[in-house]
């Protein structure tokens, strides 16, 4: 935790700030070890304070590391307590609330709103974070094994999701709370698979279909993300060809990953192969993203990225092909960037037919 705080302050100092204030639970957790409703304060001497409403104080004291915990009333009470402590400091905050920022600026002239120090610190994972991500990935592999045994023709997407989430929660893995979906998982059979972010429905699996199974779950705060595409009996020649193309594309992308490589080069490795095979128009999203305390973190693995990979970044590589009204295919792994990258998922990428 001390090293994390040093990193946070280092990046804050690069934008002329000596104090960090977080309102976001992910950044609060990274800074303090406590995930909840509170404000976190990190001062230039390393002193760390949590300002929390009374209903959160007990847990904040129990779960945080080396923090002072102050009780304050919700809303204005939290802000007032914060201002008393940092009035004269140069402050960087992740606050995105306009009215709260306007209130803070009246009392703290040297305050700026930016997530830059937080994301720059979080982009490189420490040993503890990597251990958690590896464990999360092993559980997801176990869930793919369950898919290979429990998925069947006539089963609803929602029924398979229930089976998988029951197992996940037994292993202390939970929904990420990702705001852009109503479901914890993506389980998309047949034409639903052509929607990369399909919602889980009551549609039943049919013979000859592909099923995209994207498992993105949180373990001890951290998110692992992997996708496998299964076949229900014999699939069409086109679907089989597309599957092998995605599989080879992902393999080429994974081979590209190493420190000091441009993120866009991974995207190019995957995308160029799919384009060479005349399926380029059906690869409709970026090749990957960072993972950690959020589903999508820095760096972005796309043609627009200007970032170079660094050792111990955690990213996904996930090319796909999506043909409207027919099928979708995606193969995705989470990995840790090393000279020889650690691919955290071991479940086969050969097409599994159930």
Do 213 and 147 touch, CB atoms closer than 8 A? yes
Does residue 318 surpass a pLDDT of 80? yes
User: How do residues 21-60 score in pLDDT, each as one tens digit?
Assistant: 999 999 999 999 999 999 999 999 999 999 999 999 999 9
User: How do residues 120-177 score in pLDDT, each as one tens digit?
Assistant: 999 999 999 999 999 999 999 999 999 999 999 999 999 999 999 999 999 999 999 9
Give the number of other CB atoms < 10 A from CB of residue 102.
Answer: 9
- CATH number, residue 12: 3.40.350.10
Report the pLDDT averaged over residues 266-295.
Answer: 98
Task: Give the E-state strand segments of the chain in sequence order.
Answer: 19-22, 39-42, 48-52, 68-71, 91-93, 111-113, 173-174, 186-189, 210-219, 222-231, 288-290, 297-301, 314-317, 320-323, 327-330, 333-336, 342-343, 352-353
Residue where a domain terminates, one of 90, 122, 154: 122
Report the pLDDT averaged over residues 254-277.
Answer: 98
Residue where a domain terminates, one of 63, 92, 122: 122
- Domain total for the chain? 2
% of residues, the chain, pLDDT over 70: 100
- 99 and 136, same domain (yes or no): no
Interatomic CA distance for residues 175 and 325, integer angstroms: 28
70 — pLDDT class (breaks 50, 70, 90): very high
89 — pLDDT class (breaks 50, 70, 90): confident
- 86 and 150, same domain (yes or no): no
The distance of Cα 21 from the centroid of its chain, to the nearest Å, equals 22
Residue whose pair of structure tokens reads 């999508």 in the numeric block: 296
User: How do residues 186-245 score in pLDDT, each as one tens digit?
Assistant: 999 999 999 999 999 999 999 999 999 999 999 999 999 999 999 999 999 999 999 999
Residue where a domain terminates, one of 122, 154, 188: 122
Residue 308: DSSP 8-state: B
Do 228 and 349 touch, CB atoms closer than 8 A? yes
- 152 and 80, same domain (yes or no): no
Full domain range(s) for residue 153? 127-353
pLDDT for residue 86: 86
- 54 and 151, same domain (yes or no): no
- CATH number, residue 287: 3.90.230.10
- 93 and 182, same domain (yes or no): no
- 117 and 133, same domain (yes or no): no
- 254 and 292, same domain (yes or no): yes
- 135 and 53, same domain (yes or no): no
109 — pLDDT class (breaks 50, 70, 90): confident
Q: What is the mean pLDDT of the chain?
A: 96
Q: Which residues pair with 70 in a beta bridge?
A: 51
pLDDT for residue 246: 98
- 111 and 216, same domain (yes or no): no
Record the tokens describing residue 211, joined without a space: 């099923």
pLDDT for residue 339: 96
% of residues, the chain, pLDDT over 90: 94
- 148 and 248, same domain (yes or no): yes
- 118 and 131, same domain (yes or no): no
- 269 and 159, same domain (yes or no): yes
Interatomic CA distance for residues 68 and 185, integer angstroms: 38
Interatomic CA distance for residues 7 and 141, integer angstroms: 33
88 — pLDDT class (breaks 50, 70, 90): confident
Does residue 346 surpass a pLDDT of 90? yes
Record the tokens describing residue 190, joined without a space: 């047949």
273, 153, 258, 254: which is closest to 211 by C-alpha? 153
């Amino acid at each position: 935790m001390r090293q994390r705080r040093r990193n946070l302050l280092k990046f804050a100092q690069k934008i002329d700030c000596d104090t960090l204030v977080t309102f976001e639970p992910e950044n609060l957790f990274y800074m303090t070890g406590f995930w909840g409703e509170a404000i976190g304060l990190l001062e230039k001497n390393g002193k760390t304070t949590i300002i929390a409403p009374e209903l959160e104080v007990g847990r904040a004291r129990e779960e945080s590391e080396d923090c002072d915990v102050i009780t304050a009333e919700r809303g204005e009470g939290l802000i007032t307590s914060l201002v008393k402590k940092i009035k004269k400091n140069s402050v960087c905050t992740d606050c995105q609330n306009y009215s709260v920022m306007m209130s803070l600026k009246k009392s703290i002239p040297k305050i700026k709103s930016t997530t830059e120090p937080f994301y720059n610190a979080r982009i490189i994972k420490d040993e503890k974070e990597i251990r958690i991500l590896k464990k999360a990935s092993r559980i997801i592999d176990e869930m793919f094994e369950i898919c290979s045994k429990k998925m069947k023709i006539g089963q609803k997407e929602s029924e398979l999701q229930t089976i998988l989430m029951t197992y996940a929660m037994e292993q202390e893995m939970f929904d990420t709370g990702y705001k852009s979906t109503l479901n914890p998982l993506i389980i998309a059979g047949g034409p639903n698979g052509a929607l990369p972010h399909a919602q889980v429905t009551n549609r039943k699996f049919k013979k000859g279909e592909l099923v995209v199974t994207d498992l993105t779950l949180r373990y001890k705060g951290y998110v692992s993300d992997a996708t496998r595409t299964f076949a229900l009996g014999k699939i069409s020649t086109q679907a089989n060809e597309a599957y092998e193309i995605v599989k080879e594309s992902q393999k080429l992308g994974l081979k590209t990953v190493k420190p000091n490589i441009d993120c866009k080069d991974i995207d190019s490795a995957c995308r160029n192969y799919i384009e060479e095979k005349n399926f380029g128009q059906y690869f409709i999203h970026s090749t990957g993203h960072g993972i950690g305390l959020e589903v999508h973190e820095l760096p972005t693995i796309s043609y627009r990225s200007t970032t170079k990979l660094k050792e111990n970044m955690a990213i996904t590589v996930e090319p796909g092909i999506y043909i409207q009204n027919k099928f979708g295919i995606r193969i995705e792994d989470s990995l840790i960037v090393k000279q020889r990258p650690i691919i955290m998922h071991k479940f086969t990428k050969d097409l599994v037919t159930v």
